[in-house]
Amino acid sequence: MRTRAEAAVSEDTPTTAKSRAERDAAPAKAATLIEALPWLQSFHARTMVIKFGGNAMVSEELQRSFAQDMVYLRYAGIRPVVVHGGGPQISRMLDRLGIASEFRGGYRVTSPEAMEVVRMVLTGSISRDIVRRINEHGPLAAGISGEDAGLFVGRRRGVVIDGEEHDLGLVGDVIAVDPAAVLAQLEAGRIPVVSSIAPDADDPTQSLNVNADAAAAALAVALGAEKLVVLTDVAGLYSDWPDRESLVSHIRSDDLAALLPSLESGMIPKMTACLDAVRGGVPKAAIIDGRIPHSILLEVFTSEGIGTEVVASLDPRDRERRSGR
């Protein structure tokens, strides 16, 4: 005759085995949720600006996870604001239309003809797609162009290459921000999705192609955001690239300023945006690996975070308090 224990084992089914596995995993899931508690408290009702870019904009899986992250933040009581660029998509559309793409010093030379394509891609395609994906979870997102309601004002800039100034056409820097349109959307409970275009301060009939990293930083400062998060295609800031052991998890603004001239050219705009944000009063800025699904939730709600966090040099609120990191 079988014992009760033997009978229990022999009668075990895939369903009961799955239930047992779920029960065994429950404490770890609960611990993860509890780990998020101090960050839910810290960021509750605060504004967070997220610059959406890189591979996350072209991968279907990453686009879905990004939209889910934005909705999660919104229902967790945080006020997310999305700022996006769209360099690869703009290049593809220019190629399709037979318009040559030219870069000088890492900046896209933008003719009036190319600027029309920039506007079409950013506001007519990318912004609408981000809004649509977020709104699959409810009527939460609304698209805003930097041209709307005086949100951004820009001024044309050139670039110096080998000591010589080069014209970039309709390319500029954000010199002023009026966040009223974004604040109105936030007060209505929406997630603003902002395109990085700005009218020219010196010729309001013209619009300028502005760097999305810099635009996100300027908007974060104007909104009094609690944090700026910049999605990238790398794990974070490396102090000695390509040595992958030199990944920096936490850095103060003065140290970053000293390191900035030695960085790879592609990292300079992103780290400059983080530096400008914290020097402008944003308590924290971070660059994170947007190739990892749900990287924003990992950055915001876990003790270790992900990527590289920048804080002001005199700001005592830093990630070292999280876990001795």
Q: What is the pLDDT of residue 61?
A: 94
Mean pLDDT, the chain, whole residue set: 89
* Confidence at 325, pLDDT banded by 50, 70, 90: very low
86 belongs to an annotated ligand binding site: yes
Check pLDDT > 70 for residue 12: no
- Tell me the CA distances in angstroms from 5 to 8, 22, 23, one per residue in order: 5, 21, 20
Average confidence (pLDDT) over 271-291: 96
Percent of the chain with pLDDT strictly greater than 90: 67
Q: What percent helix, strand, coil does the chain show, rounded to 5?
A: 45, 25, 30
325 or 92, which is more confident:
92
Reading the block at residue 204, the tokens are: 């309001």
Cis peptide upstream of residue 192 (ω within 30 degrees of 0): no
Q: What is the pLDDT of residue 324?
A: 40
Q: What is the pLDDT of residue 15?
A: 66
Reading the block at residue 307, the tokens are: 């990527």
What confidence tens digit (pLDDT) does each residue in 134-160 have? 999 999 999 999 999 999 999 999 888
209 belongs to an annotated ligand binding site: yes
92 belongs to an annotated ligand binding site: no
214 φψ region: left (φ > 0), alpha (ψ -120 to 50), beta (else): alpha
Q: Which of 161-170, 247-256, 288-297 has the lowest mean pLDDT?
A: 161-170
Average confidence (pLDDT) over 49-72: 93
What confidence tens digit (pLDDT) does each residue in 122-133 have? 999 999 999 999
